[in-house]
A and B are shown apart, each in its own frame.
Chain A
Amino acid sequence: DAGVIQSPRHEVTEMGQEVTLRCKPISGHNSLFWYRQTMMRGLELLIYFNNNVPIDDSGMPEDRFSAKMPNASFSTLKIQPSEPRDSAVYFCASSLQSIADTQYFGPGTRLTVL
């Protein structure tokens, strides 16, 4: 299996622009997670999907952030408009059934907002 696939691996954008991060979970996994990692705040769970349905989005920092999972093999995290403080590494992870199961992380997308 290819593991969790994320794209792009690096994104540099200017403040105010829309940013879309993409994730393909491991085939057969029913749960998908988006995380953000920064030096100051560490690794934070943003949103958790189960069977394509958002279960908990309380970690989404602001209305500028939105996430979708239109089918079992694809999810997006969108930031509109982006701000410099959104600069971070964004990870997608998937697990077989739930948040309690082993999570497999993707390689991450390093986002820089100028």
Chain B
Amino acid sequence: EDQVTQSPEALRLQEGESSSLNCSYTVSGLRGLFWYRQDPGKGPEFLFTLYSAGEEKEKERLKATLTKKESFLHITAPKPEDSATYLCAVQARSSASKIIFGSGTRLSIRP
């Protein structure tokens, strides 16, 4: 069964304190892995898509990386406005019409 697990559930950091969020997946052939950001009371907002192991993508203070079993979202010198829930999702080759979301990591940055 395809599965996506995110850790930690919640993370509190001081402004400027870098860290990483983890997304572990078990799928029958990865077609794509997606990262989204969700602010309270809003819909998820797309950040990145990764397709193959070794791929990396960056946007401002965020960098996403991918291996054959997991993805990391690295956040460098975060600011309070980076506080949000970060969601990971996967699309498997075995079920191309489905997308499975993880439960998310709730990130809080203290000024």
Contacts and interface: CB of A to CB of B under 8 A. Distances in A.
Interface in A12-60: 42-45, 48, 55-56, 58-59
B45 A99 contact: no
Main secondary structure of the interface of B (DSSP, over half): strand
B98 A58 contact: yes
B22 to A, nearest CB: 16
A109 B14 CA distance: 33
Nearest to A108: B43
Contacts of A4: 43
B97 to A, nearest CB: 4
Interface residues on A, range: 20 to 34
Interface in B23-56: 31-32, 34, 41-46, 49
Contact of B99 (A45, A91, A105, A106): A45
Contact of A103 (B46, B96, B100): B46
A107 B43 contact: yes
Nearest to B97: A56
A45 B43 contact: no
B98 A106 contact: no
Contacts of B83: none
Contact of A108 (B31, B32, B42, B98): B42
Given A42-B103, A103-B44, A105-B45, 11 more contacts: A43-B89, A44-B101, A48-B97, A56-B98, A58-B98, A93-B43, A99-B98, A100-B91, A103-B46, A104-B46, A108-B43
Interface of B: 31-32, 34, 41-46, 49, 87, 89, 91, 96-104
